[in-house]
Structure 1
Amino acid sequence: MNMSRPSLMERWEASRLAELLRSREVRAALQLTEGGGTAGAPRAPRTESSNERRVGIWRAQGSGPRPDYVRDRSIGLDELRMWADIERIEAPRDGELRVVLIGESVARGFLLDPVVTPARVLEHQLANGGRCGRVHVLDVARTCLTNPVDLLLEALDLRPDAVVLFVGNNLLPAQFATGYHGHSSPLSALRERAMRAREQGFHALATAADAIAMRDVIGPLVNVLGEIARAVRVPWVVVLPEFNLLDWYDDDAHTCGLPVWLSGDALIEWQAAQRAASALVDVGDVAAASPHLERMIELDGGTSSWALRWHGHALAVAGEHFRARALLEAARDQYGRFSPVPPCPRNDAGVRARLRRALELPHVRFVDLPRLFAERVQLLPDRHLFYDYCHLTPLGIEVAMAATAAALEGALMREPELPRRVDELRAVTPEVPRIAEATAACLAAVHNTHWGQPAELVAYWLDRASALMPDALDLVAAYLEARATRLPGWMSHGAQGPFRPETQAGRHWYEHEPSLHDIPLAREFEQRRPLPAAWRTCANVDHGDVVSLAELCASDLYAAAAGDRAWSTERRPSTRMAFYSEGGRRFRARLVVRTPGGGEVRVLANGELVACFTTSPARWTRHDAPLSATSGVNELRIEWPAITAVDPAAASRSLDDMVLGHEPDFYHRFGDLHKSSRLTPVEPPFSTERSEP
């Protein structure tokens, strides 16, 4: 066994190169992505001392060459909970191998953290089934990490014997390609893309988006990671992430956006095929929808994520898993390029390939999660491996870290990897406490609700939590109660109990304004347990107050797209809202709407048609729709007219916005809902029971 540490000279050379990269290429890469990324906040702020040694939120204690690093308590709670719950990172000990794990929220163990984390699982597997002696895994992964370069350079001060790099979900080239959703892009690059679209059409803009973003943003950043790996010649293991291909829905039949470059007869035919396909998908006959889905793909050139995803599902049902994977991955990568709402984190195929090329070095080994999961768990990943879009369940963490441990073991011992070692290391994985897994299932139900996922998926996680612990739904009840309070969230009962900052649930508590955005969750919860009284009181619309329909949007995700104007613009075929009632109450929904081409607007309450009226092109129309509420959660849906004509100047205006460096507006507009639209109880209450003659 040869596991000698790098010499002091080698470490000094690596440190010198790291400083060089910090001052040049790294800074250029950081400037390209400043303010970008899908996961938000920057890393922990530095203090005034420019010479202070830090690793993330940990500050060096002492000035020696091998200091301890101590958690900086002056940093705010919102930043602290993004990191491992570790007070002190001690200096290297003789006879101990140190492995640094750097990554995003998946590497953090999102929803299971701090009880279960990939770093702890990896260390336990190496300690109880490995052949490398004493190994300490240093967990410096951060939730919402959008640029790993700076953190990686800092982590070199920890004197690692090996590095595990688990990144890729927060590097989305599609968002940088157009400057969409506020992601910065150089003005010259935006102009170049606009000119290409003018010359070759919008389709060319979409197909070239990844290549342009790779060249200008993602490529330089990934290349810097490769340069660091060349300089720091300790063993590296790069974990390439996977996506929840089967059980994540970026859009559904009611929120399926139209291809931005289709118009005229092609657009009309595409919408007709989509309606026919969605009717079959809704009743579970995905296979019969295949001809309609194929026609949609033929018309739009494979740019509709909805058609690609459901055609992939149809192939999976038919047992054609390899073709299904290709379509499902294409749907994953396509969504978000011109979406009216920001996409969730995901591992783009181009980013994954670029990481592999940049880090293809003799001392770097790869753990390819798509291949690993397909070989050892299931051909197409679903909810058994993922809580949501990319965050791993205990099974996913177990398999991923066992493969990582096997790769580390082979690299440290300078031996080839043995496939059987993955199964042997899985066998020594620590058991996940039932309370931790039940808590994560409850949090998954909440998280999926906020991303507009189907009710069936929310129900699955609620039932999974109850199966693990009968009283697990107490946590969801506390969450709903906390959301209903008129006090700040930290003053609620839940924040003083299960959502205390140091708890598993507390680490994933993000304060929101009291609202009705949790109604899809409440609808499923109500079928299992009585809703908390505080939530019923807050969400109840029976008390005579006028409620703005804008407040009844069924999901945080779509509500965020409304903006600050006097109306919200709907880019999808329908608008869904929900409210709570004790039943036996009549309401009047006053709709103030506008459609670009005019046509028939349909209003449905709990699936039943309650109003149908016609609008004139580009003119505001007011209509009162009477409806009766049932006891519990009710759904109100506006179905907009199909688009039959497209503003010929819309595409040109979007390209002009790109040239000026503004966020472009690509999507077709189905209609506008004015914020004066409201729901009003009608007095007096009445009985919904019919009397017999």
Structure 2
Amino acid sequence: MKKNFYNFIAYCLGNARVLKLFRRVQFFVQSRQIQSQTDTPEHSKQEAIGNISIWLPEEMEGEIIYTRPRQGVFGDHYSHRPSFSKQKEAGAIRICYFGESAALGYLYAPHFSPAEYLEQVLNKSFKTKKFEVIDLSQTNETLDSMAEKMHSSIELSPDMWVIFAGNNWSLLETPEFSPGFTSLINRQQIGRLILQNSYDELADQVVKKRLNKIGRTLEKINLLAKEFKIEPILVIPEVNLADWESRQPIPDFPDPVINQWYQVYENCLKFIETSEWDKLLESSFKMWEMDQGTCSTTYRLISIAHMNLGNLEKAKAAARAEIDSIMLPFMGFLNAPQITSYDQEVLRRAASFYGFKLIDVPNLIAEKYPGKLPDRELFLDYCHFTIDGIRLVIQEIEKQIYLLLNLNSDENSPGDVSPEISKEEEALAQFGAAIHTAHRLVGVSGKNKMIDYWCRKAYHTSPGISKTMLDFVEARASNIPAVLTAAQQRNFHSLYRLLHSHGWKYSGNLDIEIILAIQEVLKHDYPETEEWINQSLLRSHSVEDHSYDLIDTGKYLWNPLVQAYADLLKPYWAGTSAVFRAIWPRTDFVLISTANRDLDANLVAKVSSLRSSNDLRISVNSKEIGTPQINNSFHPINFCIPGEVLQSGVNKLTIDWPPLSRTNHNLSTKAERLLLGEEVELVPVFGEIFSLKIN
């Protein structure tokens, strides 16, 4: 009983959702205390002052100071700035800075902040002016939340607003269009839209509703700016078009199309391996004809082909179409937040219409780096900038401020101020990029190269991070919560301290791809690393000593994202799903074994519908070990894993599902289920697994 209680406490300490709940309670209590103070006679004539984001007002020596609550041990979603005054310094120019995680400096925070860098650049470049930049950006920022912050920031009498947002909008602004998370009424509405005009009508509604919401928010910003004489500066985000890949299943079209599409996809992977780029382009266009331009996977394959054929503009256009094609109702795997070209264009038109100053980062990068797509030189992952990327954007903001203020004297000119960041902080961000990539990328051509790249980069930047890498392995390999491990205690006092933003605590998955990348990076300088990692995994996870279910908790999924995102993101209080739904024709698991004997396996699974051939293909380390029959009701399948196909340590167990049949696989059938209020996926489900036990 005590152990369960301590595990629960550890879970609370390491879980962002629980900490957020506690934080809200803390805000409520503190706000009540502030309210009780203002109700006293000496404050009865004063107007109550509200908080600005998480910063709470306090009166100190006759002055109102906004103070942030203390951060949790693993950080939070906000700027680390401890406080700021309501009253700005006489003659100073105050800039309030808003945006999402890219604006916040995700993965560099709290050691380095783009907003603080902007303040430093402005004050060093402009000798006759004093600048203050107040960072109100936030990870997972939404339009409504940002608009509320901007309204409350008027208390601070800002001269300018910098607004650096857009990446989150396609994921967070229309949750009512996600069949797995929305209400009964919204599910029924989705079903009606599909029945009216299948895919197109629903996709149009998603985009229109989001663009209308963006437009309304920009109108509010314009009205506030005009009323309070604030100069807005819009910053249009850019994303990693070269390296970041977004694999998604094809929507639930008729089954012959789906089966053919996946066959051509497998051919495309072979063409990538053999560098046959013309054949890749031809085959990917066949996929495009079958999926009617609705699937991001196809556009990524087209982009890869064009990149390697030297057609960079076509590659860029395909990469943008990849992002634009991902529609929330048809999203199978959890996608990474990236701004769409529609949203970029809305920001351009709004800036022109309202007269806002505009920093068009996509055009800026195209001018500065001609002949290449935005890539890992400027981005740590899908949208978060490297130091070079941050420097580029901040210096452009500086130039716009220079023009706004008409500072034309020799004493005031934009300068090139280098960001102040240590090698340890840079290496930590790079290792965080490797972890974040493992947690957010479902690649078309494989993500190991990105994970390996950032692990190597981190190690070369600061070799001391090798200890943190091994602590990461130890914490992941442990069977107790990470916050209770010795590795966590060491890391807490390390120069390379991992936070929530770096993915230190993540959904209980083993993170095998990062572990293997660390092993590969360190084994040259530390040959004993490979054996140490092997033994760490075997000690806690060898199937010979710890019989377990590979489905339980999602720990042993090779890639934790290759599952229905509605299952992946279920609230912690709702428990895990009863079954694993395979929305891709191949499912990979991690199997840790000593390889000293044959293993018995018991699979309880079913396919979604029957066809003439219903053979599963089961393989270990790419060696086929069986093709058992499966049907459309849950039943046990017993098979043996021969010892000779196993290797000591990490093994990959793969299930290839049989092709789909016509029954129950089209959008209209699923639309009818939505009308009944059922939770359904609008992508094909190849099969479901109740358990996969290895003894």
Quickly name the TM-score band, shorter chain normalised. 0.7 to 0.9
**2 CA distance for matches of 1:634 and 1:375?**
46
Output the amino acid matched with 2:78. W
The residue aligned with 1:611 is: 626
1:333 to 324, 338, 349: 324
**2 CA distance for matches of 1:592 and 1:181?**
27
- Superposed displacement of residue 112, structure 1: 0.6
The residue aligned with 2:220 is: 224
DSSP-derived class of the 1:67 partner? strand
Please give the residue correspondences for 1:131-280 in structure 2 after superposition, counting only pairs within 5 Å.
133-146=129-142, 147-172=145-170, 176=174, 179-180=177-178, 184=182, 187=185, 193-215=190-212, 217-251=213-247, 256-260=248-252, 262-280=253-271
Please give the residue correspondences for 1:432-471 in structure 2 after superposition, counting only pairs within 5 Å.
432-453=421-442, 454-471=447-464
| Structure 1: gaps (5+ residues) | 1-37, 416-420, 681-693
**1 CA distance for matches of 2:173 and 2:668?**
20
DSSP-derived class of the 1:125 partner? helix
Note the alpha carbon deviations across 1:433-475, whole angstroms, 9 max, x for none.
1111111111111111122451111111110011111221211
On the 8 A contact 2:550/2:589 being kept in 1, the answer is: yes
Pairwise CA RMSD of aligned residues?
Answer: 3.2
- Normalised to the residue count of structure 1, the TM-score between the two structures is 0.82
DSSP-derived class of the 1:383 partner? coil
Note the alpha carbon deviations across 1:656-686, whole angstroms, 9 max, x for none.
45446665421111111122x1122xxxxxx
Pick which of 441-450 and 591-600 moved more.
591-600
Q: Does 1:281 align with 2:272?
A: yes
DSSP-derived class of the 1:204 partner? helix
The residue aligned with 1:588 is: 600
**1 CA distance for matches of 2:577 and 2:455?**
37
On the 8 A contact 1:112/1:440 being kept in 2, the answer is: yes
On the 8 A contact 2:162/2:233 being kept in 1, the answer is: yes
The residue aligned with 1:553 is: 557
Pick which of 396-405 and 561-570 moved more.
561-570
- Superposed displacement of residue 352, structure 1: 2.5
On the 8 A contact 1:308/1:328 being kept in 2, the answer is: yes
More helix by share: 2
DSSP-derived class of the 1:367 partner? strand
DSSP-derived class of the 1:123 partner? helix
Note the alpha carbon deviations across 1:3-48, whole angstroms, 9 max, x for none.
xxxxxxxxxxxxxxxxxxxxxxxxxxxxxxxxxxx9x969964523
On the 8 A contact 1:101/1:137 being kept in 2, the answer is: yes
On the 8 A contact 2:94/2:131 being kept in 1, the answer is: yes
DSSP-derived class of the 2:377 partner? coil
On the 8 A contact 1:222/1:354 being kept in 2, the answer is: no
Residues 487 and 568 of structure 1, relative CA distance in 2, 3 Å threshold: closer
Q: Does 1:87 align with 2:82?
A: yes
Residues 122 and 207 of structure 1, relative CA distance in 2, 3 Å threshold: same
1:377 to 369, 390, 393: 369
Pick which of 509-518 and 542-551 moved more.
509-518
**2 CA distance for matches of 1:320 and 1:646?**
42
- Superposed displacement of residue 492, structure 1: 2.8
On the 8 A contact 1:196/1:204 being kept in 2, the answer is: yes
**2 CA distance for matches of 1:125 and 1:302?**
45
The residue aligned with 1:630 is: 647
The residue aligned with 1:21 is: none
Note the alpha carbon deviations across 1:249-299, whole angstroms, 9 max, x for none.
222xxxx51232x21543343233222212212444344211111111112
**2 CA distance for matches of 1:589 and 1:190?**
39
The residue aligned with 2:573 is: none
**1 CA distance for matches of 2:72 and 2:427?**
28
Residues 317 and 131 of structure 1, relative CA distance in 2, 3 Å threshold: farther
Output the amino acid matched with 1:71. R
Please give the residue correspondences for 1:290-369 in structure 2 after superposition, counting only pairs within 5 Å.
290-337=281-328, 338-360=330-352, 364-369=356-361
Output the amino acid matched with 1:224. K
**2 CA distance for matches of 1:601 and 1:583?**
24
Residues 567 and 461 of structure 1, relative CA distance in 2, 3 Å threshold: same
The residue aligned with 1:35 is: none
**2 CA distance for matches of 1:65 and 1:232?**
25
On the 8 A contact 1:593/1:671 being kept in 2, the answer is: yes
Note the alpha carbon deviations across 1:184-231, whole angstroms, 9 max, x for none.
5794x765554332122234323443124434x444344333433333
Residues 200 and 495 of structure 1, relative CA distance in 2, 3 Å threshold: same
Q: Does 1:571 align with 2:583?
A: yes
Output the amino acid matched with 1:371. N
Output the amino acid matched with 1:198. L
Output the amino acid matched with 2:305. A
- Superposed displacement of residue 164, structure 1: 0.6
On the 8 A contact 2:351/2:358 being kept in 1, the answer is: no
The residue aligned with 2:659 is: 642
The residue aligned with 2:42 is: none
| Structure 2: gaps (5+ residues) | 1-16, 36-47, 524-528, 571-575
The residue aligned with 1:15 is: none
**1 CA distance for matches of 2:391 and 2:323?**
25
Q: Does 1:597 align with 2:618?
A: no
Output the amino acid matched with 2:325. Q
DSSP-derived class of the 1:200 partner? helix
Residues 231 and 479 of structure 1, relative CA distance in 2, 3 Å threshold: farther
The residue aligned with 1:125 is: 121
Percent identity, aligned pairs only, is 22
**2 CA distance for matches of 1:150 and 1:66?**
24
- Normalised to the residue count of structure 2, the TM-score between the two structures is 0.82
Residues 291 and 221 of structure 1, relative CA distance in 2, 3 Å threshold: same
Note the alpha carbon deviations across 1:520-560, whole angstroms, 9 max, x for none.
11112222242458842554314432121214112333366
The residue aligned with 1:544 is: 545
On the 8 A contact 2:350/2:356 being kept in 1, the answer is: no
The residue aligned with 1:670 is: 686
DSSP-derived class of the 2:449 partner? helix
On the 8 A contact 2:583/2:683 being kept in 1, the answer is: yes
On the 8 A contact 1:193/1:205 being kept in 2, the answer is: yes
DSSP-derived class of the 2:138 partner? coil
On the 8 A contact 2:95/2:133 being kept in 1, the answer is: yes
Output the amino acid matched with 1:546. S
DSSP-derived class of the 1:668 partner? coil
**1 CA distance for matches of 2:80 and 2:128?**
26
**2 CA distance for matches of 1:315 and 1:306?**
15
The residue aligned with 2:6 is: none
**1 CA distance for matches of 2:458 and 2:306?**
31
- Superposed displacement of residue 385, structure 1: 1.4
**2 CA distance for matches of 1:384 and 1:185?**
42
Please give the residue correspondences for 1:467-506 in structure 2 after superposition, counting only pairs within 5 Å.
467-499=460-492, 505-506=498-499
Output the amino acid matched with 2:656. E
Count residues in correspondence: 624
DSSP-derived class of the 1:172 partner? helix
DSSP-derived class of the 1:471 partner? helix
On the 8 A contact 2:338/2:382 being kept in 1, the answer is: yes
Note the alpha carbon deviations across 1:570-605, whole angstroms, 9 max, x for none.
010100111333444433333232112252211121
The residue aligned with 2:54 is: 57
On the 8 A contact 1:384/1:395 being kept in 2, the answer is: yes
